Every structure is written in C-alpha cells, then in structure tokens.
Structure 1
Amino acid sequence: MALKGTNQEYGRPYNRRIVLETIRLQGPIARGEIAKRVGLTVQTVSTIIRELEGNGFVLGAREERRRRGYPATELKLNPDGGHAIGLHVTPRGIEAALINLAGEVIARRERKLPRLKPTAAFDAIGDLVVALRKLKPRGRSLGRMLGLGLAMPGPFDVESMSFVGPTTLEGWSGVPIRERLAAKTGLPVFIEVDHAAAALGERLYGAARDIRDFYYLFFGVGLGGCMVQEGNALRGSHGNAGEIGHLPMVPGGEACPCGNAGCLERYLSCLALERGAQTLGVEGWIREVTPLFKSAIVAIENLFDPLTIVIGGIAPPDVLDKLIAAADPLPHSVAERRDRAIPRVTRSANGEDAVLRGAAALAVSGVLSPRFGLMFAANDPLMEREAAA
C-alpha cells in the first residue's frame, strides 16, 4: 500500500503519521528516500523528523547532523520511545499487556474473573496497569506512555445484542467505560470491538503487515470479523460491521441470545468449541463444523474479495490449523484465481496475543498508523458512541 502525504495545512498530523509509519515499515531508511516514497519535500520530511526525534520516536537524526559530508544516516524507529497498554476484557476475565513502539510484548498479566461486573473489572484493570507501569524494560524506566487500548466484545449500542448472552459482557449496558477507565488509570483510553482491534494488530505487526486488503476472522468467546481495505478497517455506519457470528446459517438451528436461531457463532466459536468438545471431542467438533466453516469462508470471499482471510483470536492455534486443513479443498468463490500468490486462508502470526497487540495499537496508532490512527482519534464520533455503550 502506497503511503502519500498531503500539502494541505490540516494534513500536518497526517504527514507526521505517514513519515513515522514509513520509518516503521521500511527502516532503516534515509530521509531523502522517505520523501520520495510519501511525496513530500525533503525539507518537510526533515521538519517532521526533528519533531519525531524530539519525542524520542526516531533514532539516527542526531548522528546525521554530527556527520555532515558523510553519507546520509538511515533513520529507524526507537522501540523504547513509547509504550502502550493493551487490554482484552471478555466474559472470562481480563488480559493486559505492555507493548512498546515496535509492537513487542514486553510483559503480560491476566486475571480470571468469570462473568465480571464493571466495578470489579475497573478495580482489577487499575491494579494491572499500576503493575505494568512499574516495570523497567532493559533496566530502564518506561518511556512515554501513549495510552491504553481496550478491546471488548461487540456489538455496541444494539438493544437486542449488546451485553446480552454468554459471549458478551452482561450487565455492562450504560456504563461510561472510557471515562471510568481514564479516571482509574490517568491515561488516554481508546476502545474498540475485539475483532477490529485484532485486525489492527495483524495489519501493523502480523501476517497482514504487507497485505493491503484482507479479512480478519476472530475466534473469541463468540465469532467476529473485520474487512481491512487499503489498510483501513471497514466499520459500518455505527461501528458495528463484522458481527458475522450473528448470521443465521442453520435453518431451525439453536436459539441464540440475540433472538434469532441458527447463528454461526452457536456452532463456530470458542464457546461452541468447548461445548462440542465435551460430547464430540475436538476432532469430532472440527468434522461437524467444517461444512459451516467452508460456507463462511466462501461468503466472506464473495462479499469482500479479500487477498486472504486471516484467522486468529483466542482459540488454540493448533485447533485453527486443524480447522483450516479440514476445509481443504475450499469451495469455488471469487478468490479462486490462477495468479493467487498467497493462500485463501492464513492463520494469524500473532496467536493469542493478536487482540492484546491490537488493543495496544489503538493507542500507538494515533502516532504510527495514518489510516487506523485517524479512525481512533479521541474526538472521533465513533469513539464517543462506543465509549458510552
């Protein structure tokens, strides 16, 4: 995906993100090469580099100024120039991770709190954040803390589906989540539905780092998905796109808490895996759900035409591998092309950390990722709706 800057005055923050994203993806890289890649002047790039250096996000600029007359110094990201905390809250508890600017997991903590209530969750999160902020990676105190990203099950603000049923956070309706987390932690808070946060993490750090158009299928307690096109997550008019788990796919099937019957996540999700494994075993469950899985893959391909479908989440990686293998050969779809260079279905490179890295990336992306970063700005109307959910 080509990253291009803009000469409009309002585009200054965007240009800053573009330059830093280019350094992250292409570094070490000289400023002249950055200018060519993003379509800005060397002078403009140099001004941005000075700002990024002042914030501690970039290494190499000082050395370049001391070495005039020598070949241009190549600039690179400073992994310790900033950190963020990623949180994943599910019906089973809380996971938290400290992530540096390069997307590396420095440390992680978790609390098993089944069916947790908001007050208990916020207290636990406060304790986890305090513990993570006391850490000293590489023997040094943490650099700038960019913020806290929270991933949680969706959808948001839908009466019949939000905070209803075993795959959601029951009892959380009407809770001012962002405000309470900000008050508890003292950090800027970014909130996203878990499957979109995981897609962001995969785009920035995982299997889709070099893929501009992909679909992320997220196996959480329930099932969700997110289409990423030209590096941009398609979130829908109310931020609830991707609730593929609530597609009724089995006529006369199991009742779903959403009020429909035969919804996909009743058969294909971590909750469904655990239920099925009790009676069929894991292998038996895979055999039973493979036809549904294949139908879901074809539906996604025909609807969105992604370069690949990345499958990840909190499901065990070996189970996802077996499910992908069982689906071969896949049915015909628009994805069946002679010139295909990558598989139609790919397992996430992030494993179970995908959503945690993606959650932290919600905060990091305000600096790093020009497309995702603009989406998750603190004054984004979507953010306001989700925080109020």
Structure 2
Amino acid sequence: MTLRGTNQETGRPYNRRIVLESIRLHGPTTRGEIARSVGLTVQTVSTIVRELEEQGLILSVQKAPEGRGIPPSTLTINPEGGHAVGIHVTPLGIEAALVNLRGDVVESLRRPVVNAMPDAAFAFIKEMVATLKASPRCGRLFGAGLALPGPFDVESMSFVGSTTMAGWKNVDIRQHLADATGLPAFIENDMAAAALGEQLYGLGQQISNYYYLFFSVGLGGAMMHDGSVMGGAWGNAGEIGHIPAVPNGEPCPCGNHGCLERYLSLEAFERRGLPEAEWVAEIAPFFRNVVRTIENLFDPETIVLGGLAPQPLVRELATLVDGLDTSISARANRALPRVVVASDCQHSALRGAAALAVFGVLSPRFGQMFETSEKGNSE
C-alpha cells in the first residue's frame, strides 16, 4: 500500500496519520524524505512533525556534523510515546499485554480459565487491565484491542464448538470490552490480528504478500496483500479450518464432516493423544495439502506459520515443507522458503490486537477500517 497525503482542507487528520506511519515504517528519516515519499510539502510535514513531537509520539535526533553545514535531524517513533492493551481470548485462557508503540510487550498477564463464559471473561479482563494500568511502566493509553477465534457472524460456525468461544453468541463484545477497560475498544478475529502483528513488528516489515497460517485451538489464517489484511466481504477471508479434508470424515460442530481443523489443530492434537512425533507424521499429508491449497489460491511470497501451538511443535510442522510437491509457488527464484516460522508466535495475536487500538487512531492503513468496523458485535 502506497502512503500518499492529501491537499484537501479536511485531510489534516489523515495527513497526520500518514506522516506518523511513514516515520514508523522508514525511520530514522528526515522531513524532506517524508515529504517526497507521501507527496506533501516540506512545510506541511514540518508542521505535523512539530505537533507529533509536542505530543511525545516521535523523537528528533540531531546528527553530529560530518562536514560543512548542519545535517538535518532524523525522526523516529518514540516507543514510550504511548501504549495499548492487547487481549487474546481463547478456549484455553485469557492473555492481556501492555504494548508500546514499537510493538514491544512491556508487561503481560495470563489467566488459564478454560472456556470462559462472557461475564466471567470480562470480569477477568477488567481485573487484568486494571493491573496493567497501575503498572509504573504504563504511559498514555490509546485503547484496548481484543482478538478472539473466528469466524464472525456465521450462524453455523461462530461461537460453536470446542475451537471457538462457545456461549458467546448474541453478545455485544465491543461494548463489553469498552465497559471492562474504560478504553476505546477494537475487535478482530485472532488470525487476522496475528497477521497484523507480524506485518507491523515481524517479517512483514520485509515482505508485503504472505499468508499467516494460524495454528491454534482451531485452524485459520489470513492473507496479507500489499501490507493489508484481505478481509473478504464479511471479514472472514482465509478461514481454512472448515475446508473439507476427508470425505465422510469426522463430524464437525459446524454441521459438516471431515473439516480440516478436525485433523490439524491443537484440539485435534490433544484429542488424538499421540506423542508429538507420531502425530506430526500422521497429519503430514493434511499439512502439505493445506500449504499447496494456500499457495494455489493466494500466490503468497511465503506462508508464515504461527499461533498458540508450542514453539517446538510449530518448528516441527515447518519441516514438513521438505516433502511438498509442486504448486504455483514451487519456483527456483524464491527469496524465502515456502513456509517460515512466525517471528513471535506466542505474542503475535496480542501485539496485533494492541495495534488495532494504536493504528485505529493513528494510521492511514488501519484507521478508517477500524473506525467504521462493526466486527465483534455478533447480534
């Protein structure tokens, strides 16, 4: 996605987000470099930079002279210029983290409450966020982002079965989150949040088209295209867990039989009760079919494998790429392997959830999307 400013009178807030995003992506950078890259005048950029400095969102560093004249100061994001709370709710428990503007997890908490009902979950969230707010490391808070298993707004799949938050149907999740935290509230499915976290703070800083395969209690994923999540008509694009994998296979809570996540997910791993090595060997054909399907559908630069699975299991799954047959991604001039392990599996959804709040206010990439989104209200 190319960042471009606007000369319209009403475009000042947008230009502000454009400049901040440019600094985040390309810093340390100069006012002149920003102006050239986003199509604004140096004077406009300088005015915006002054405001951002006054608000503590960016830092200006003066380089030491190397010759004649004074070199221009360079601009970077101030990691302590603000924080957001990222929250991840799964059937296995609730995690919450305080995340700074650089994407660092400053503090985190976990409550291993299994299959929490909404009232109990938001009571835990209220207590956890209060603890994070009281931390001496907590600065200005932009908001709270919540990631939870999808898909959303699908009658037969949303909040149905052991891989989702069963019992959460017809709950105004966004309002509950706002009430529990006292902060602006943002909602996203965890696979898209994880992809966003990877885009902002991990491998996505070097590549712009990849599929994030989210291996969790269930199985899902999201395609990053040109730096943005491909949402689809209803925000569930990339949901591969319910692709039919075995004709007349195991019954799935969605009402179909043989769905992929019945065989390839943490829930399936626990249900089978096999040693890790045996289970990986058993599901190898499923995993390789998933990879080929994703490649042929989306043509990604690579597939990023992450999620809540233990890191050793994720790494073991990634080795199955050695047995892959051909697809449109089997090419000699690849810059990356066909499957790579995410930069931060355990925190990717948390960091992405926090980014919903930060960039929902500050970023042109995500601001308009999340300011108008109604995701999370399943009524």
Q: TM-score, normalised by structure 2?
A: 0.95
- Paired residue for 2:257? 261
Partners of 2:277 and 2:149 in 1: CA distance: 27
Q: CA contact under 8 A between 1:149 and 1:361: conserved in structure 2?
A: yes
Question: Does 2:376 match 1:386?
Answer: yes
The sequence identity of aligned pairs, in percent, is 57
3-state secondary structure, aligned to 1:386: coil
Give the drift of 1:95.
0.4
- Paired residue for 2:76? 76
Between 207-216 and 5-14, report the one with greater CA deviation.
5-14
- Paired residue for 1:366? 360
Partners of 2:154 and 2:320 in 1: CA distance: 35
Q: Render the CA deviation track for 1:60-106: whole Å, top value 9, x for unaligned.
A: 18x79xxxx73211111111101000000011210000000110000
Give the drift of 1:238.
1.2
3-state secondary structure, aligned to 1:286: helix
3-state secondary structure, aligned to 2:50: helix
Q: CA contact under 8 A between 2:187 and 2:375: conserved in structure 1?
A: no
Question: Does 2:304 match 1:310?
Answer: yes
Q: CA contact under 8 A between 2:152 and 2:378: conserved in structure 1?
A: no
Partners of 1:323 and 1:245 in 2: CA distance: 16
Task: Identify the match of residue 346 of structure 1 among 340, 344, 364.
Answer: 340
Task: Identify the match of residue 185 of structure 2 among 184, 189, 208.
Answer: 189
RMSD: 1.6
Q: CA contact under 8 A between 1:233 and 1:372: conserved in structure 2?
A: no
Question: Does 2:223 match 1:233?
Answer: no
3-state secondary structure, aligned to 1:327: helix
Give the drift of 1:44.
1.5
Q: CA contact under 8 A between 1:231 and 1:372: conserved in structure 2?
A: no
Question: Does 2:144 match 1:167?
Answer: no
Q: CA contact under 8 A between 1:311 and 1:348: conserved in structure 2?
A: yes
Task: Identify the match of residue 152 of structure 1 among 132, 148, 151.
Answer: 148
Partners of 1:327 and 1:33 in 2: CA distance: 41
- Paired residue for 1:127? 127
Q: Render the CA deviation track for 1:174-209: whole Å, top value 9, x for unaligned.
A: 111111221222100000000000000000001222
Partners of 2:112 and 2:132 in 1: CA distance: 17
- Paired residue for 1:106? 106
Give the drift of 1:388.
4.1
Give the drift of 1:26.
1.8
Partners of 1:76 and 1:84 in 2: CA distance: 19
Partners of 2:87 and 2:190 in 1: CA distance: 10
Task: Identify the match of residue 282 of structure 2 among 271, 281, 288.
Answer: 288
3-state secondary structure, aligned to 1:80: coil
Instruction: Please give the residue correspondences for 1:206-221 in structure 2 after superposition, counting only pairs within 5 Å.
Output: 206-221=202-217
Q: CA contact under 8 A between 1:178 and 1:388: conserved in structure 2?
A: no
Q: Render the CA deviation track for 1:5-34: whole Å, top value 9, x for unaligned.
A: 233344433322221122112211111111
CA 45–266 in structure 1, closer or farther in 2 if over 3 Å, else same? same
- Paired residue for 2:66? none
Question: Does 2:338 match 1:375?
Answer: no
- Paired residue for 1:55? 55
Give the drift of 1:342.
1.1
Give the drift of 1:151.
0.1
Q: Render the CA deviation track for 1:199-254: whole Å, top value 9, x for unaligned.
A: 00000001222211111110111011101111111111111222210111111111
3-state secondary structure, aligned to 2:365: helix
Partners of 1:159 and 1:272 in 2: CA distance: 23
CA 96–385 in structure 1, closer or farther in 2 if over 3 Å, else same? closer
- Paired residue for 1:96? 96
Partners of 1:329 and 1:252 in 2: CA distance: 26
Partners of 1:9 and 1:296 in 2: CA distance: 48
- Paired residue for 1:326? 320
Partners of 1:43 and 1:182 in 2: CA distance: 38
3-state secondary structure, aligned to 2:377: helix
Q: Which amino acid aligns with 2:329?
A: A
Q: Render the CA deviation track for 1:345-384: whole Å, top value 9, x for unaligned.
A: 111001211111111111112245422333212xx1xx32
Flag structure 2 segments of 5+ consecutive residues without an equivalent: 64-68
Partners of 2:300 and 2:83 in 1: CA distance: 32
Q: Render the CA deviation track for 1:287-339: whole Å, top value 9, x for unaligned.
A: 11111111111111111111111110101121111111123132211112222
Partners of 1:248 and 1:9 in 2: CA distance: 52
Q: Which amino acid aligns with 2:13?
A: P
Partners of 2:208 and 2:8 in 1: CA distance: 25
Partners of 2:375 and 2:369 in 1: CA distance: 13
Q: CA contact under 8 A between 2:192 and 2:222: conserved in structure 1?
A: yes
3-state secondary structure, aligned to 1:252: coil
Give the drift of 1:170.
1.0
Give the drift of 1:54.
2.5
Q: Which amino acid aligns with 1:71?
A: P
